[in-house]
Amino acid sequence: MLRTKDWLKLHSTVVQLGNDNRINGEAFNQIINSSSKPKSFPMHLNKHCKSLPGRNVAGKIVICHSTGPMNDIGPSINKTDISGIISAGAAGVVLINRKAAGFTTLLEDYGNVVQVTVADGNNITEYVRTTSKASAKVIYKNTVLCVRPSPTVAAFSSRGPGTFSPGVLKPDILAPGLNVIAARPPLTMLGSGPFHIKSGTSMLTPHVSGVAALVKSCHPDWSAAAIKSTILTTADITDSTGGPILDEQHQRATAYAMGAGHVNPTKAVDPGLVYDLGITEYAGYICALLGDQNLAFITRDPRLSSKMLPKIPEAQLNYPTITVPLKTRPFTVHRTVTNVGPSNSIYTLKMEIPKSLTVRVYPETLVFSKAGQKIRYSLTVSSSDSESSNFMEGSLSWELMPWFC
């Protein structure tokens, strides 16, 4: 599962430079309902926030970089470093994120600090270096709606493919998990107060589990696999601008970054078709991947073995995403869809694929006469250019014909 930066920004802050250039940033601590106009302060440039020996920073906004390995994305500055700067009389701190973080700002409670991306930080740095009396003021915007582009994939989100079973696409889904405001119990190690801002899987999971609960409440007889299928097949693959979802560097996110797309609770309750799986299919997949001994260990059932189960290769698992080897020789997989939409319905095939791929699907039209009916289709893939790329991606969907909608 993935963490995203979404359309609502709770801690929007603007650093307005003396040349009237406005830099958008974020600040954990906001000044709310302030009646006074923002005050302008001179700026002091320091490469790192950790050390300011002999520097006069009183009444100035200090500009400094987060430190640490370039492949790390989170700030490595601790509160003591920031407190030392503020204790020296600084009016505030502008903290420039690391290059690897891109446009992801992982908010931390540093006190009077505005966090900006490295691109915006470079603009601020250039202004300070080329201006004799550089100044700036901080404007707190608090909650801002309709942030664009959104969602985007956060820099700290895990990327695929999964090394253990690369034939099953990972990650699965994109969901909110960056700078999420959440309630917390009292007397925890996370600090005081009833609310806190956190990021990561622990923030994403409640969103996705809530969608799963919503789907289950609408369809109480659905299996866990069917619920997972509907979450994946109804996910959005475009952002708020109508363009493709972007990663932390604002490059087009691949399937190995965003999975099936961004979760959409409204569409998830009515998918039309689902890719269902039962215990036998999962056990057959585990058996093919790990063997009898591990199958017995995972299922806690020593009676199960490959003699009792069909071995299911990972590419043939009835999963709502399809991952196949990129080769010139045709490779065929099969999928079975279950009709959970109108009883009498017809679905037609829609595909978007790279030119160097040849994809054939049979049948290209699915005709259902009742709810719960299952239809199996095959998909054969071959590539005319398998050597020039590590992977290629496309999309396959089944669309309900208009007069059945």
Q: Where in the chain is the domain with CATH 2.60.40.2310?
A: 325-405
Number of neighbours of residue 54 by Cβ within 10 angstroms? 4
**Cis peptide leading into residue 151 (ω within 30°):** yes
CATH number of 325-405: 2.60.40.2310
Which residue in the block uniquely carries the two structure tokens 């799986």? Answer: 277
| CATH class of the domain whose range is 152-187+195-268 | alpha beta
Measured between alpha carbons, how far is 267 from 235 in angstroms, rounded to an integer? 8
Q: Return the ∠ at Cα 17 (arms to 11 and 22), rounded to 5°.
A: 50
What confidence score (pLDDT) does residue 3 get?
A: 56
CB distance 211 to 231 below 8 Å: yes
Using DSSP's 3-state secondary structure scheme, residue 234 falls into: coil
Alpha-carbon torsion, ordered 301, 303, 307, 312, to 10 deg: -10
CATH architecture of 7-144: 3-Layer(bba) Sandwich (3.50)
pLDDT in tens, 258-297: 999 999 999 999 999 999 999 999 999 999 999 999 999 9
pLDDT in tens, 364-376: 999 999 999 999 9
**Which residues sit opposite 339 in a β-bridge?**
273
What confidence score (pLDDT) does residue 110 get?
A: 84
What confidence score (pLDDT) does residue 41 get?
A: 96
CB distance 211 to 227 below 8 Å: no
Q: Please name the helix (run of DSSP H) or strand (run of DSSP E) that holds residue 68, with its range, or none.
A: none
CB distance 15 to 123 below 8 Å: no
CB distance 173 to 261 below 8 Å: yes
Q: Where in the chain is the domain with CATH 3.40.50.200?
A: 152-187+195-268
Backbone angles phi, psi at 132, to 5 degrees: -65, -40
What pTM did the predictor assign? Answer: 0.90
Measured between alpha carbons, how far is 76 from 5 in angstroms, rounded to an integer? 21
CB distance 322 to 396 below 8 Å: yes
Q: Where in the chain is the domain with CATH 3.50.30.30?
A: 7-144
What confidence score (pLDDT) does residue 169 get?
A: 96
Residues of the chain under the 50 pLDDT cut: 69-71
Measured between alpha carbons, how far is 15 from 89 in angstroms, rounded to an integer? 19
